[in-house]
Amino acid sequence: MLREVARRGRLKQIIAIYPGSFDPVTNGHLDLIQRGSKLFDGLIVAIARNPEKGSALFDLEERLEMLRAMTAEWKNVSIDTFDGLLVTYAVSRNATVVLRGIRAVSDYEFELQMALMNRKLDQRVETIFMLPAEKYSYLSSRIVREIAYFGGPLAGLVPELVEQKLRQKVQAKNPDT
C-alpha cells in the first residue's frame, strides 16, 4: 500500500501557513521558512495586519517586499498578508497547517494558547511547531529593532538588505544622529 502511494505520488498536497508580524524578517524566520518549504508542498508566509501590536516599524508593503526578496529562491514559498482570524484565512487558502517556530521554553505558553484556541476555532487546521537553528534561539524582530535603534551590529541576525532598510529607517526617524 505504501509502495503504491509512493509510486503514484501523493494525491493530497499539504499547504502550510507561516503567520507572523515579520517586522522585520530575521534570519531566524528565514531558517524556519527554509525548513518548512522542505516539509510542505506549499508554504504561505502570511504577514498579519495586526492592529493589536500598535504601529509597526515597517509598513506592510515594505515587509512584503523584503520577504519576497529573501524567499525568491524557494519556489513553493509565497508571501501574502491577512487580517481577521488566522484560521479563517488558512481555510480560505486551502491550508491545513499553521507553522510556528518555538525558540525557547518562554515561547511555549503563548504558542500553546494560540494553537489550542485556533484548534477550538477550526478543527480542520493543525498547528505544527518547528525549532529554528540553535544560533537563532535568542533572536527576535523586537531585539533586532532595538539593536538597530542604538546603532549596534546586525550581521548574522538579518539579511544585508534588511540591515540596510533598518539603518535607513533609524536614520529617517533620527535625522540629527
Residue 114 binds ligand PNS, judged by CB under 6 A: yes
Distance of alpha carbon 141 from the chain centroid: 11
Exposure pattern of 45-83 as b/e (b: 16+ CB <10 Å)? bbbbeeeeeeebbbeeeebbebbeebbeebeebbbebbe
Residue 91 binds ligand PNS, judged by CB under 6 A: no
Binding track over 35-54 against ligand PNS, x by CB under 6 A: -------------x-x----
Q: Among residues 90 and 154, whose Cβ is nearest to ligand PNS?
A: 90
What number of other Cβ atoms are within 10 A of residue 102's Cβ?
Answer: 17
Cα distance between residue 15 and residue 40, in whole Å? 6
Q: Among residues 102 and 170, whose Cβ is nearest to ligand PNS?
A: 102
Cα distance between residue 152 and residue 161, in whole Å? 16
Q: Among residues 43 and 86, whose Cβ is nearest to ligand PNS?
A: 86
Binding residue for ligand PNS, selected from 86, 99, 144, 154, defined by CB under 6 A: 86
Binding residue for ligand PNS, selected from 20, 36, 101, 132, defined by CB under 6 A: 20
Residue 112 binds ligand PNS, judged by CB under 6 A: no
**C-alpha grid cell, residue 56:** 509597526
Q: How far is the CB of 117 from ligand PNS (least distance, A)?
A: 4
